Amino acid sequence: MENKHFNEKAYFGQFGGQFVPETAMFALSELEAEYEKLKNDKEFFEEFDDLLKNYVGRETPLYYAKNLSEHYNHDIYLKREDLNHTGAHKINNALGQVLLAKKMGKKKVIAETGAGQHGVATATAAALLGLECDVYMGAVDIERQKLNVFRMELLGARVISIEDGLKTLKEATTAAIQSWVAEIETVFYVIGSVVGPHPYPTIVRDFQSIIGYETKAQLDEMGKHADHVIACVGGGSNAIGIFSAFLEDNSTKLYGVEAGGYGIDTDMHAATLTLGKPGIIHGMKTYVLQNKYGQISPVHSISAGLDYPGVGPEHSHLFDIKRATYAPITDDEAMKALMLVTRKEGIIPAIESSHALAYLEKLCPVLSKDKRETIVVNVSGRGDKDMHTVFSVLKDKETGGKNGIYELNGGLENE
Ligand SMILES: *Cc1c(COP(=O)(O)O)cnc(C)c1O
């Protein structure tokens, strides 16, 4: 049900809005009002900045990847969000929202999680700030991410297994929204990406904009200008975070990389902007992967953080106005990039981030050979959580499975 009182701030072009039951409207209005107040509250942001610096470990380096730069003949910089406490960019947003919840006098936070990363980040922030925490997670993801489940429980959170549908992030999100609406007075819903009804896409973007803000300042200090900025897109928070500082300057090209899964000519992918159509999902109007009857399609990605059939509404707008380019990268291409960056730089990126890194293979060959361009890739997280997936892909090779692309001891296929 759309908000009857049209709220201009709720939209990015035609996307966004508040498509939620009447009972949730109250909580969204309360959140919007509180956030508007706190946004200008010096004390709140001093506390937040202090946590980002001394707890999360910001700022994160903008690392000149010398070996990759040599490999691609362009200057490649990696924004090292993988070095954050808990291993990814998600902590920036989780801390911001849990701090907001605390200031609003809430006793409990709830969250949905796919890869487990947002659940871990929220459970971490809740432990630190002394709030109760329930995490909703699809049963399939619980199985895929056992270690993260244990981590959340160790941090004191309750992990609730969702058995509906495909038992992944989409169903977990629906369950989290339902339980939030049921306990709306006392519970704060911590959303993990730039998705959901207004004001969430704006709040999450603001908390993640530190990535872009730092990157821009780090480049300025070196006297560099970003010609290209690449990030992976699940819901789109790390991408919006880094894009935000460059949106106004059209001389910086922006690329959002989606999960191409087994390939976009199959139905096993999560390439929402490449193949989706406008629709409604999780309280927002945005591009959605759907069949001809408007039913949301099942999605696949080798990375649990990218297999979402929707995308943040601001990305849908940036796609429509062509300010950013969106492209798919397959599971295999992402794993190859993971291997390349690991062997060239000694950095094991998350499989999500490896999608962004794989885009270098598409971009660099079409750039001018006469001029070295400056390319920033956002390394949204570290690969530790993915070791069992990487391991099984490598094992697959040994047993002749179709996913195998590498010889563990022989290095990269093409070298
Ligand atoms: C969750 C996750 C993503 C995808 O989420 P966005 O909101 O699109 O940023 C990407 N990378 C890592 C490491 C993640 O954990």
Q: How far apart are CA 131 and CA 227, in angstroms?
A: 43
Q: What is the pLDDT of residues 252-292, one digit of tens each?
A: 999 999 999 999 999 999 999 999 999 999 999 999 999 99
* Mean pLDDT of all residues in 290-317: 93
Q: What is the pLDDT of residues 86-129, one digit of tens each?
A: 999 999 999 999 999 999 999 999 999 988 889 999 999 999 99
Q: What is the pLDDT of residues 372-414, one digit of tens each?
A: 999 999 999 999 989 988 998 877 666 555 554 555 544 444 4
Pocket perturbation via mutation, ligand 1, pick of 238, 302, 308 by most ligand atoms within 8 A of CB: 238
Beta-sheet pairing, 374-379 with 228-232: parallel
What does the pLDDT read at residue 259? Answer: 98
**Residue that has been written with the tokens 């999560």 in this structure:** 270
pTM > 0.85: yes or no = yes
What does the pLDDT read at residue 9? Answer: 87
Neighbours of 361 (CB within 10 A): 14
Pocket perturbation via mutation, ligand 1, pick of 89, 286, 299 by most ligand atoms within 8 A of CB: 89
Short-list 376, 348, 114, CA closest to 245: 376
Going from the Cα of 280 to the center of ligand 1, the distance in angstroms, rounded, reads: 21
What does the pLDDT read at residue 365? Answer: 97
Q: What is the pLDDT of residues 57-88, one digit of tens each?
A: 999 999 999 999 999 999 999 999 999 999 99
Q: What is the pLDDT of residues 128-182, one digit of tens each?
A: 999 999 999 999 989 988 889 999 999 999 999 999 998 988 889 889 988 998 9
3-state secondary structure (DSSP) of residue 104: coil
Going from the Cα of 233 to the center of ligand 1, the distance in angstroms, rounded, reads: 7
Residue by residue, DSSP assigns 287-306 as EE-B-TTSPBPP---SSTTT
Q: Which residues line ligand 1 (CB under 6 A)?
A: 88, 90, 115, 117, 193, 232-239, 305-306, 350, 352-353, 380-381
Residue type, 204: V
Residue by residue, DSSP assigns 204-246 as HHHHHHHHHHHHHHHHHHTT---SEEEEE-SSSHHHHHHHTTT
What does the pLDDT read at residue 407? Answer: 52
Residue 4's pLDDT band (cuts 50, 70, 90): very low
Residue nearest ligand 1's atom 3 by CA: 305
pLDDT(3) > 60 = no
pLDDT(208) > 50 = yes
Count, residues in the chain = 415
Residue by residue, DSSP assigns 252-289 as SEEEEEEEEET-TTSS--B-HHHH-EEEEETTEEEEE-
Instruction: Identify which has the larger pLDDT, 184 or 163.
Output: 163
Q: How far apart are CA 255 and CA 68, in angstroms?
A: 19
Going from the Cα of 182 to the center of ligand 1, the distance in angstroms, rounded, reads: 28
Residue nearest ligand 1's atom 7 by CA: 237
What does the pLDDT read at residue 145? Answer: 85
What does the pLDDT read at residue 399? Answer: 58
Residue nearest ligand 1's atom 2 by CA: 305
Cis peptide before 201 (omega within 30 of 0): no
**Residues annotated catalytic, as ranges:** 90, 112, 380
Short-list 47, 116, 53, CA closest to 88: 116
Domains and CATH numbers, the chain: 54-87+209-399 (3.40.50.1100)
pLDDT(21) > 50 = yes
Q: How many CA atoms lie within 13 A of 232 on its CB side?
A: 33
Going from the Cα of 371 to the center of ligand 1, the distance in angstroms, rounded, reads: 32
Neighbours of 342 (CB within 10 A): 16
Short-list 294, 226, 210, CA closest to 76: 226
Cis peptide before 59 (omega within 30 of 0): yes
Q: What percent of the chain has pLDDT over 90?
A: 80
